[in-house]
Amino acid sequence: MLKERDLKGVYVPVVTPFLANGELDPLSYENYLNRLLAQDIQGIVVNGTTGESPTVRWEEVEELVRLSRIAAENANKRVPIVIGTGTNDTATTVKRTEMAGLLGADAVLVSTPYYNRPSQEGIIEHYRTVARTGVPVIAYEVPARTGVRLTVDTVRRILELDGVIGLKDSSGGIELVSELTRLGAKPVLCGEDIYYHAMLSQGATGGIVASANVRTSEFVEVSHLAGQGDIRSAKKAFDRLVPLIRALFQESNPSPLKWLLAWQDEISSDTVRLPMTPITPELRAQLELIFSSK
């Protein structure tokens, strides 16, 4: 299981490849994951937003975890697997977290409860209850998706809970990570790709970075340079990735990413499940231009 000291470097939230009929595509997942595992990544996240968690069935999560373990064994590589288990119902989140533990998850990623807009105290109790399962918890602050923003004090109190090992920060800026590192909190992972370098500069220890599904080695380079204290070189390396990051988030994630992976023949199809839809022709042309001019 993951510990605080393990939350560093690049964690890649994996896509869930589908066949054209919408069913899981194990062969594509194996091909795609083999390429990722050849890179110096620190872990993968299964069943996150990039993996289309709202429309993926739990039995499919089980299959993705099984395939991930086989791929890691074949690569002779120890790769931590984080499983997304967050919902807006504490009892369901606890059940999913327990099931993830039975699957051998190294940690779980638990978002702030969404839609029902609980109080700050309610959110703290939500995390306290989930952490009692014994599976290491990475809290996930993403107000753009949940409809509620955590205060710095709330995040600090969540990070003080036994069993919570760190935070994925998708708060929309660097203020939260800056304040948390000033206060000496547990590790913070960047969860908003465009702020990756800025958050590393403010004390983040790494990131759960969707864009790192492509040009993975370049994201790893940014992490390594920042870790060595060479912030200027890390900025130069990151700046080369900015056009890609901006393009990948022009339309809803993971549709642009899946199109790009299919275009590169890493997965067989860019199929997404409704209500997600494929990307526009205009964005396809933009992504092709970014990679043809690289």
Q: Which residues carry a binding-site annotation for pyruvate? A: 50, 208
Beta bridge partners of 13: 45
CA angle 262, 263, 265 (to 5 degrees): 60
Taking the CB of residue 281, how many other CB atoms lie within 10 A of it? 8
Tokens 């396809």, residue?
284
First-to-last alpha carbon distance for the chain, in angstroms, is 38
User: Active site includes 140?
Assistant: yes
Catalytically annotated residue among 8, 11, 168, 196: 168
Instruction: List, as residue ranges, the binding site.
Output: 50, 208
CB-based contact 98:133 (threshold 8 Å): yes
CB-based contact 189:167 (threshold 8 Å): yes
Catalytically annotated residue among 29, 127, 140, 196: 140
CB-based contact 204:226 (threshold 8 Å): no
Q: Nearest CA to 139 among 167, 163, 117, 120?
A: 167
Range list of β-strands (E), 195-281? 206-208
| Residue numbers annotated as active site | 140, 168
